[in-house]
Chains A and B, each alone.
Chain A
Amino acid sequence: MARPMKIRARLVGDYTDIRVLMAHPMETGQRKVKGKVVPAHFIENVTVKVNGKTVIEAQTSQAVSRNPVFAFRAKGGAKGDKVEIGWVDNEGERNSLESAVD
Chain B
Amino acid sequence: MNEGRRVVLRSAGATGALVAALAAGLLKPERALAVNWDKSAFRQKSAADALRSIGAQDAEKSGKVMLDVPEIAENGAVVPVEITSHIPGTTSIAVVIDKNPFPLTSRFSFEEGALPYVKLNVKMGQSSDIRAIAEANGKHYVAMKGVKVTIGGCGG
Interface residues of A (CB under 8 A from B): 15, 28, 30-32, 38-40, 44-45, 48, 50, 53-66, 68-75, 88-92, 94
Contact = CB atoms under 8 A, between A and B. Distances in A.
A72 B106 CA distance: 14
Interface of B: 1, 31, 33-38, 42, 77-79, 82, 97, 100-102, 104-115, 117-124, 153-156
21 contacts: A31-B155, A31-B156, A38-B156, A44-B37, A45-B35, A50-B113, A55-B113, A58-B106, A58-B109, A59-B106, A61-B105, A62-B102, A62-B123, A63-B105, A63-B122, A65-B78, A65-B122, A65-B123, A65-B153, A71-B120, A89-B34
Contacts, number: 123
A48 to B, nearest CB: 7
A71 B119 contact: yes
Contacts of A62: 102, 123
A50 B110 CA distance: 12
Given A70-B119, A88-B33, A91-B31, A59 B114 contact: no
Contacts of B101: 28, 30
Given A28-B154, A61-B105, A65-B121, A88 B115 contact: no
B117 A57 contact: no
Contacts of A56: 108-111, 114, 118
A58 B77 contact: no
